[in-house]
């Protein structure tokens, strides 16, 4: 039997939503697990809670396997170029999911601990949006 599903704190979703929804034409929706933010039909940010090794792909990627591991919340975004290379090799709180290498704009995960740097979160969210938004919308951020 799978472990009970854990939800992302509503306070955390609200804080992320303030950042994401400030970006032109972005919107929020409930994902298969967690919450995601979209530009057109492309996900530029996804937040999910991991507990008891569930959801397994996220738990493996974040190193949070097993029923006795501490629950964590992770944010996944897209990155490319120098930012991708920097985050991919930065270590905690960042990680590279195995599935995140299949697209041109690679997926990077970030564990959202209590001491998270919200300026850094805003930066990675904005860059993820910029990669997936239509050119005119991305250019409007400059």
Q: What is the pLDDT of residue 69?
A: 61
Domain boundaries, the chain: 10-133
Q: What is the pLDDT of residue 68?
A: 52
Write the CB contacts of 77 (distance below 8 Å, at least 6 apart in sequence).
44, 45, 46, 107, 108, 110, 124, 125, 127, 128
Q: What is the pLDDT of residue 7?
A: 84
Q: What is the pLDDT of residue 13?
A: 95
Q: Which residues of the chain have pLDDT under 70?
A: 1-5, 64-69, 99-105
Return the CATH number of the domain spanning residue range 10-133. 3.90.1150.30
Q: How many CB atoms lie within 10 A of CB 104?
A: 7
Dig out the tokens for 140 from the structure: 């409007």
The CA distance from 72 to 77, in Å, is 16
Overall pTM > 0.85: yes
3-state secondary structure of 109: strand
Q: How many CB atoms lie within 10 A of CB 33?
A: 19
């Amino acid at each position: 039997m799978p472990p009970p599903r854990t939800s992302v704190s509503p306070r955390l979703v609200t804080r992320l939503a303030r950042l994401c929804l400030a970006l032109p034409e972005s919107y929020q929706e409930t994902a298969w697990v967690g919450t995601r933010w979209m530009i057109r039909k492309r996900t530029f940010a996804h937040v999910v809670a991991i507990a008891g090794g569930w959801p397994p792909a996220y738990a493996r990627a974040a190193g949070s396997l097993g029923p006795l591991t501490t629950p964590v919340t992770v944010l996944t975004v897209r990155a490319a170029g120098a930012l991708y290379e920097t985050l991919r090799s930065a270590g905690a709180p960042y990680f590279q999911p195995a599935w995140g290498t299949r697209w041109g704009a690679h997926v990077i995960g970030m564990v959202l601990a209590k001491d998270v740097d919200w300026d850094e979160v805003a930066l990675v969210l904005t860059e993820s949006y910029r990669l997936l938004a239509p050119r005119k919308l991305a250019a409007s951020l400059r």
